[in-house]
Structure 1
C-alpha cells in the first residue's frame, strides 16, 4: 500500500519539536499509520493520502468552534473525506485530515497517567478510526471503537500502563 502523509506542525515549543523529530525518524509516523490501515484491512489500487496537523490548544479550539460549534480545545479533530461526495481527488484516494493538539495530549497523558508517546498514539489512532468511519455517539459504537483502539495500540506495545 502506498501512503502519502502530508505532515505539518505550527508549534514552536522545543519539547514538542523534539517529539516531532522522532516521528520523522525512519518514517516512524508513516509506518505507524500504514500499519493501522493494514490492521483495518484498508486496500486501494491508488495511493492513499492523509493530512496531519500538530497544533496547540488555542488553534484547535478555533477549529473546534468553527466546525463543531464547541468553544473548547480538544485532543483530535478528524475530517473524513469519504463523507463527502468524492474522495478520489487527483491521483489519490484521500482519506481525510487529522488535527491533533499536542498540548491537550500532554494534559491527558498526565491526567490518565500515561506517557506522552502512548497518549499521542492513542489520539492518532482515534483520529484514524474516525476517518475510517468509526464513531462513538451510540454506546455500542463506542464499545466497538474502544476495542479497536486498544487492539491496535496493543499490537504496537502501547498498553494503558505504558510509560
Structure 2
C-alpha cells in the first residue's frame, strides 16, 4: 500500500494544482521515510480562515484561526507526550502504522499571508505546514524549546530534501 495522500479543497483563494499535489506526495514520502513510516493514509484538507477558526474552537477550545490543525487517528491527546519521546528512537514508529494516520487541515489564506511575511513561496509555506502537521500525527509536539528545535530540524530537512528552500 505505501503512504497514501487523500485530499480535498474547501477554499477558493488558491488553485490546488496537480503539481502541488505531486509536491505533497513527495513531502509525505520523504517525511515518512525519515521517520520510518512507510504505510498509512493521510487526509489533507485545504480550508479558509473561517473554517479553521471553527475547528480550532470546537476541537481545541481556542477561539481564533490557526494555520494548521492535525488530528491523529492512533492515539489520544494524553498519550502524545509519551509518543514524543518514543518517536525519537529508530524503527519505533514504522510497523504501527498500517491504516489511517490522521487528518491535516491547512488554512490557505493563513499560508498565503505567512509566505508573504516570511518572504518565500506559498508552495513552500504549504509544504512546511503539511510536514509540520504530519509530524504532529506521529506524536511530535513543540511545547518546549527542545521539542520545537527537534521538530523544526526535521521539517527543514524534509523541505530541503525536495528543494523547498527559503
Matched with 1:131 is 137
For 2:142 and 2:20, the matched residues in 1 are separated by: 28
For 1:157 and 1:124, the matched residues in 2 are separated by: 15
Task: Using the TM superposition, give the Cα deviation of residue 159 of structure 1 relative to its aligned residue in structure 2, in angstroms.
Answer: 2.0
For 2:26 and 2:113, the matched residues in 1 are separated by: 26
- Which residue, out of 120, 123, 127, partners 1:114? 120
Task: Using the TM superposition, give the Cα deviation of residue 158 of structure 1 relative to its aligned residue in structure 2, in angstroms.
Answer: 1.7
Matched with 2:61 is 69
TM-score scaled by length of structure 2: 0.80
Q: 1:67 to 1:116 in 2, by over 3 A?
A: same
Extract structure 1 runs of 4+ deviating beyond 6 A.
Answer: none
Matched with 1:10 is 10
Q: Mind listing any 5+ residue stretches in structure 1 that lack a counterpart?
A: 86-91
Mapping for residues 1-163 of structure 1, pairs under 5 Å: 2-13=2-13, 16-17=14-15, 19-24=16-21, 27-44=22-39, 48-84=40-76, 92-160=98-166
Bigger relative contact order (CA 8 A; separation at least 6): 2
TM-score scaled by length of structure 1: 0.82
For 1:81 and 1:128, the matched residues in 2 are separated by: 12
Aligned-residue CA RMSD (Å): 1.8
Q: Mind listing any 5+ residue stretches in structure 2 that lack a counterpart?
A: 80-97
SS at match of 2:5: strand
